Amino acid sequence: MKSKVALKRALIKLLTRQSLMQISVKKLCQEAEVGRSTFYSHYNNLDELLEELENDLVKELSVRDSELADRKKTKPSDFSYFLDVVDYIKEHKTEILVLTKFRPDARFIEKWKNAIKANLHKRGLPKDDLLYEMVAAETIAAFDYYLLSPEKYSESQIQKVVVQALKIFEK
């Protein structure tokens, strides 16, 4: 397990400087300080490693955001779980920004949007694919904006915006 964590960290570090196509297994293993055989005991290629990293992030984000499905939550104080989402995103700032901004990973972004849309759907909101897509995309954009400029908005201000957006969506 330690080696998988080291490989994921090394991949993100390398992705801050170059694209996945420019990264070799050899270079990744040197950065992670693990042998190539260790890499191949876990993954067939770099894309498998990247996909596992994406899945881990989306799973954790979705779990933390699952309370969005509770339609009884309508006031900013009901969305205290949202701060847990923000904390997770801050804790994984580098990974999130690499995969959404610096080296945009369409697959990761799509998975994250789908997780957000699934939670909106569980909330019992009217099924409107375009609206779901817009809310999911804007949610990710808002998190990116916050990570790049945390001094401009507080977490509670972002929380209020999310609640306002849900109210508009539910009308």
Q: Would the pLDDT of 66 be above 60?
A: yes
- Tell me: the pLDDT tens digits for 25-53? 999 999 999 999 999 999 999 999 999 99
Query: What does residue 144 show for φ and ψ, rounded to 5 degrees?
Result: -60, -45
pLDDT score of 70: 60
Range name among 1-10, 32-41, 93-102, 121-130 with the lowest pLDDT average: 121-130
Name the amino acid, one letter, at 16.
Answer: T
pLDDT score of 155: 80
Neighbours of 57 (CB within 10 A): 21
Q: Would the pLDDT of 71 be above 70?
A: no
Residues in the chain: 171
26 within 8 A of 36, measured Cβ to Cβ:
yes
Q: Would the pLDDT of 78 be above 80?
A: no
Mean pLDDT, rounded, of the chain: 87
pLDDT score of 81: 66
pLDDT score of 93: 95
Q: Would the pLDDT of 144 be above 80?
A: yes
Question: CA-CA distance, 76 to 73, in Å (whole number)?
Answer: 8
Angle 166-103-61 (CA atoms, 0-180°, nearest 5)? Answer: 35
Question: CA-CA distance, 159 to 156, in Å (whole number)?
Answer: 5
Contact residues for 64 (Cβ-Cβ < 8 A; gap 6+): 81, 84, 85, 88
Q: Which residue has the higher pLDDT, 169 or 54?
A: 54
